[in-house]
Chains A and B, each alone.
Chain A
Amino acid sequence: MEEGAKPDQEEVSIVTFEVGGERFGVDVSNVEGVIEPGEIIRMPRAPDYVVGITNLRGKVIAVIDLAKKLNLAGAGDAAKTPRKIVVVQAGDLKAGILVESPDVIRISQSVIEPSPVKMPGESGGAFVRGIAKLESGLVVILDIEEMFGRWAEGVGVEVVRQEDNKEQEA
């Protein structure tokens, strides 16, 4: 299917959401779903960007405050405003991101440009796939595989990329 279309005309579905006053997007293939936050249990000794853990239909997942992770200006009030959780996944890994006003958009690949500026924070933009310029504003497209990969790095585990996974299943 993908082979036929020219890359610049290809449309992609992106789940967008707001964190710390900025709009982010994640490719729909990396999103398992958007859920209402249930009870989030604090995890002692976890890094500060981990809000806690929660029960996602019988599975325990971590809930992440992306604003803290990326050192965004609007960080700090994650737990206060009513929010949703976008469950992102790559390979076997899953995590919830606390967000505001999630949405799904379809955009042409061609509006996504390589990021001109580095994101603040420890990983310096490495997990930004690109910036989509839309009429409504800019959307920072995140590379979830890369993001999980970096988090997992310290633990010495390789994150299986989505494409690899599909091949194995075929």
Chain B
Amino acid sequence: MDMDLSQYRDLFISEAVEQIDTINKALLELESKPEKSELIGEIFRSVHTLKGMSATMGYDPLTDITHELENLLDQLRIGALPISGRVIDLLFSAVDTIGGMVEEIARGETVALDWKKIEEVISEISGAVEEIAPDIADKLVSAEGKAGPPDARAVSEGRAGGEEIQLSEAEKRRYLSVPGTRVLRLTVVLDEDCVLKSVRVFMVFRKLAQLGEVIFSIPPVEELEDEKFEREFIVMFATQKMPEAVQRALLGIAEIADVKAEKVLEAGVTQGGEPPEGMTEADLGAVARESVRKSSTIRVNIDRLDRLMALVGEVIVNRARLEEIAAQSGIQELKDTLDQTARLTSELQDEVMKMRMVPVENVFNRFPRMVRDLAKKQGKQVRFLMEGKDIELDRTVLDEISDPLVHLLRNAIDHGVETPEEREAIGKPPVSTVRVSAFRDRNYVAIRVEDDGRGIKASEIFDRALAKGLISAEQREALADSDLLSVLCIPGFSTSEVADDVSGRGVGMDAVKNKVESLGGSVTIDTSPGLGTSATLRLPLTLAIIRALLVGVSDEVFAIPLRVVEEVKIAQPEDIRKVGGKETLISREKVLPLIRLDEVFDCRTKLNGSEPFQVVVIEYGDKRIAVEVHNLIGQREIVVAPLDIFLRNVEGFSGATILGSGRVALVIDPASLVVNL
């Protein structure tokens, strides 16, 4: 059994993680807006899904805890249990426990868990449920049963008129809270000569169970099964499907004479066409979009996408090789066909790239919860804002920057944000604002983490670095405010005096900077003491395939990412000026530092310096440099392979690529060229 299910484990995990995200998100909103009861419906729905998934997979502890959680949510849903801070905390801790369980499942083969802790959580949940007056609890039980709740549901003589059928407010709320859900009233008529009515009823209900959720039926299911009806019965049915689709499905069952499907309610649109309370037009639009998107996506293992990406990369490498051969052969037909192939592979590459793009939301979603917990723990009040959640990044890039972002956020809350008292003392509002925003910036995506906290005093940071022995006294003297980031990024530097589980473990900004730079991005930091700090990560949209300029230095070939190349030109020896012992190049009346690649890379032959030479002007971050090369080979699309881990700290290169000829070329990391200027 386990063996059969193991192939679904990954799917289970990814779906479970999504559900947990949804629950966390809804809980956070519920905490600030307890009156928004549709959120409970949303949470219930996710918990219910989790329960079903866990039961299918045979993860009993998970099934148990989600079951208890459902009970608790039921109480909240009907208002028997008020939404208090305690309940929210309990829900959060339950979700954490569930998250922990899912993680265990992800890590190990079987679920080996801290049962004591789970039992504690379960008993706490059921304890909370038992606190409610027993009569309410009884009502609940009946509401769960198929007979239907006692309220507002008149049933007359086995046949029911339309007006008499109503849903309870709690039910309405529950079904309305799920986007795309509609409640249908289905009138099913059996053939006149139908013999086995109960069998047809069974088939109808089984079909319906595949399409949605039966709310109740008239007459109740028990009576239908006992054939206590004539030819017709009514089912209230919640579904994401179109009424016509449900109708068609039921008519496919034998001996069904007629099926009428009326829409009673639709999420986002009530009977009167009025949007439900608190829902704006924009929400409705989002709801509609979401349901469309959901229906047209499939899950693909990321490994497959990676493989596909690698294959496309190889095709492109081969294409480049073919183009070289075609150029040598001079066969026009071959060239034409290759042009066509080039266009197709470019399209293919674009599509694969797009497939790998995911909205930053996937990573952002866990931040609100983290911020809440951190702020609460430290007695700080934080208003947390997220912007640009729909900006998309390559999946790999996004995965990689998740940790750096967490680190920046922690920094903002630990070191940036002051306590409410401190803030009031200096005339700031007690609630601070922390914002994560993503936006497009030319060929980059920028992600910014900003706070309106105390800011960073560069001189204090420098003094601390000096006290820690990370820099010498002379170095301290030479530092200017603009050196702040480089000091913060000295390995081992941490602004926290005491190491704790939250921050200050000595792996700090340097890890952030390294990670971002290894992705071809950059980090900047802006701070004003007393007003706040903002850290910005600039990231390339995609990773693996880039356009590059191939340059020759001595007999070696290097690739420079085209995105940093500002211009290519011939420079004259007389344009070189020595400034402070270093060579600079006058270009368009600007003085650019001149870097000679043959010297930097210690190549075999060097230029003698008396003749005009080729330079590539590189713009990286806010710096511009002129790089001397021996010759230009041309622009290529290259597949950048990361260097093996033990070559990765060799300065100067961000990766390597295989050229059309099969030869390997190193990809120059522009950051390393500008670093010592």
Contacts and interface: CB of A to CB of B under 8 A. Distances in A.
A43 B662 CA distance: 17
Contacts of B651: 45
Contacts of B657: 60
Nearest to A52: B664
Nearest to B558: A44
B546 interface: no
A143 to B, nearest CB: 16
Interface stretch (B51-59, B607-615, B637-645): B637-645
A43 B603 CA distance: 10
Most buried by B among A38, A54, A55: A55
A53 B666 contact: yes
Interface residues of B, number: 27
Interface in B592-611: 600-603
A95 interface: yes
Contacts of B663: 39, 41, 55
Nearest to B507: A156
Contact of B664 (A47, A54, A95): A54
B314 A154 contact: no
A157 interface: yes
B329 interface: no
Given A43-B650, A58-B658, A93 B645 contact: yes
A129 interface: no
Interface in B633-665: 641, 643-653, 656-658, 662-665
Contact of B644 (A44, A55, A94): A94
A55 B662 contact: yes
Most buried by A among B646, B652, B653, B666: B646
B10 interface: no
A148 to B, nearest CB: 7
B645 A58 contact: no
Contacts, number: 73
Interface in A6-23: none
A41 B665 contact: yes
A155 B645 contact: yes
B556 A42 contact: yes
A21 B666 CA distance: 32
A75 interface: no
A53 B556 contact: no
A23 to B, nearest CB: 24
B215 interface: no
A5 interface: no
B646 A59 contact: no
Contacts of A151: 645-646
Contacts of A148: 646
A46 interface: yes
B317 interface: yes
A43 B658 contact: no
A50 B649 CA distance: 13
Nearest to A168: B109
Interface string B543-560: 000000000000010000
Mostly, the B contact residues are mixed
Given A44-B601, A45-B651, A62 B664 contact: no
A35 interface: no
Interface in A48-98: 50, 53-55, 58-62, 93-95
A152 interface: yes
Contacts of A61: 644
B666 A41 contact: yes
A152 B646 contact: yes
A45 to B, nearest CB: 5
Contacts of B645: 93, 151-152, 155, 157
Interface string B533-573: 00000000000000000000000100000000000000000
A154 B602 CA distance: 25
Most buried by B among A38, A46, A55, A60: A60
A46 B644 contact: no
Given A95-B644, A151-B646, A44 B658 contact: no
Nearest to B647: A62
A93 B602 CA distance: 28
A43 B647 contact: yes
B274 to A, nearest CB: 54
Contacts of A155: 645-646, 648-649
A60 B658 CA distance: 8
Contacts of A60: 641, 643-644, 656-658, 664
Given A55-B658, A94-B644, A95-B644, A44 B652 contact: yes
Contacts of A50: 647, 650
Nearest to B639: A58
A164 B535 CA distance: 39
Given A53-B647, A58-B658, A157-B645, A45 B652 contact: yes
Most buried by B among A45, A47, A95: A45
A28 to B, nearest CB: 21
Interface in B178-198: none
Contacts of A39: 662-664
Interface string A126-170: 000000000000000000000010011011010000000000000
Interface of A: 38-39, 41-47, 50, 53-55, 58-62, 93-95, 148, 151-152, 154-155, 157
Interface of B: 314, 317, 556, 600-603, 641, 643-653, 656-658, 662-666
25 contacts: A39-B663, A41-B663, A41-B665, A41-B666, A43-B650, A43-B666, A44-B602, A45-B650, A45-B651, A47-B650, A53-B656, A58-B314, A58-B317, A59-B641, A60-B641, A60-B656, A60-B657, A62-B643, A62-B646, A94-B644, A95-B644, A148-B646, A152-B645, A154-B649, A155-B645
